[in-house]
Amino acid sequence: MSTETCKKQRTVFYLSDRTGITVETLGHSLLTQFDGIKWRKISIPFLDSEEKAKAAADQINLTGKQDGCRPLVFSTLIDPAVRSLIERADCAIYDFFESFIDSMEKELGQQSSHAIGRSHGVNNNASYTKRIAAVNFAQTNDDGISAKSFAEADIILVGVSRSGKTPTCLYLALQYGIYAANYPLTEEDMDSSSLPSIIKPFKNKLFGLTITAEQLHKIRQERKPNSRYSSLNQCQQELQWQQSLYQREKIPYIDTTATSIEEMATTILNRSGLKRQLYGE
C-alpha cells in the first residue's frame, strides 16, 4: 500500500481483556475526527493471556506488512505482560489505561489495583442484577403489552408506531439501569383529544418521541409496504395529532429523525432529571 493509499485506508485494532465495548467506543470517537479515511476495523476481545497476546501481535504485524503501513491499535489491556507483548508489535498503539492510570496514581497517592474486569457489571452482583432487571422490565412493558407495572417505571416513552421507543427503552435499561416502559400512540387514540386513559395517571413520567413524516413513511414501508399504515398521508395525520397532544399536555419530547439512540437516551435522562443507575460495559 503506497503512502498516498495509507492516507485513505488504514487498519485499526481494538484490543481488550474483556468485551471490548469500552475501547471500541473510545476509539471510534477518536476516528470520527479524521475525514476521508476508510477504516478496516478488527476487534480482539478477551485478550487475557500471553499466548493470546502473541497471536494478536503476530496478526498486527502480518496486517501491517500486507497493508504497507502499520495499523493503529487502541487498547484497554491491564496485564503488564500482555501489554508488553502488544507494544513490541509494529503498530501505533494508543493505550487508554496507560495514558491515565499513572497520572491518577500520582494524584491519588496510591497504586491502582490493575484488576481485570472492574468495569463489568457481572463483577458487581448488585449492578449486574439491576441491569438484568431493567432489561426484563423494558421487555415486559414494551408497546403497552401491560400497564400494570407503569407505576414502577422511571420513565414511559410515548410516540406513534416505529418512532424508536423500543430500542431506546432497551438502551436506557442496558446502559443506565433505567426502568423504561413505552406506550404506542395508535390511530384509535386519535379519536380522543386527551391522553389515553391507560397512561393518564402517569403523566409526570411521560416523554415523547417524534419523527418526520417522510422518515416514518420510509420505516413503515419496510415493515408493511404499500399499506395504509405506511402511507405518507397516514404518517402525517398521526404525527400532526401527536404533536398537538404533546403541546396540549406539555409532554417533553425529542425528534428521533437524525438522532442516534445514544444521543436520545442521554438527552432523555438529562431533560427528565433521571440519574444513571449503573456503569460498566
Per-residue pLDDT 10s for the chain (281 aa) are 556 778 889 999 999 998 888 899 889 989 999 999 999 999 999 999 999 999 999 999 999 999 999 999 999 998 999 999 999 999 999 998 877 877 888 889 988 776 665 555 455 567 778 888 999 999 999 988 777 899 999 999 999 999 999 999 999 998 899 999 999 999 899 988 889 999 999 999 999 999 999 999 999 999 999 999 999 999 999 999 999 999 999 999 999 999 999 899 999 999 999 988 876 54
At 96, the amino acid letter reads F
Question: Measured between alpha carbons, how far is residue 188 from residues 64, 193, 196 in Å?
Answer: 60, 11, 9
Torsion angle defined by CA atoms of residues 57, 63, 64 and 65, in that order, rounded to the nearest 10 degrees: 110
Distance CA 25, CA 32 (A): 11
At 148, the amino acid letter reads K
Query: Do 199 and 155 form a contact (C-beta atoms < 8 A)?
Result: no
Is residue 29 classed exposed, middle or buried when 0-12, 13-18 and 19+ CB atoms within 10 A define those classes?
Answer: exposed
Task: Please report the pLDDT score of residue 91 as a whole number.
Answer: 96
DSSP 161: T
Distance CA 87, CA 166 (A): 42
At 261, the amino acid letter reads I
Task: Please report the pLDDT score of residue 74 as a whole number.
Answer: 96
Distance CA 216, CA 66 (A): 44
Which helix H or strand E contains 146, and what residues bound it? none
Distance CA 27, CA 8 (A): 18
Task: Please report the pLDDT score of residue 279 as a whole number.
Answer: 62
User: pTM for the whole thing?
Assistant: 0.69
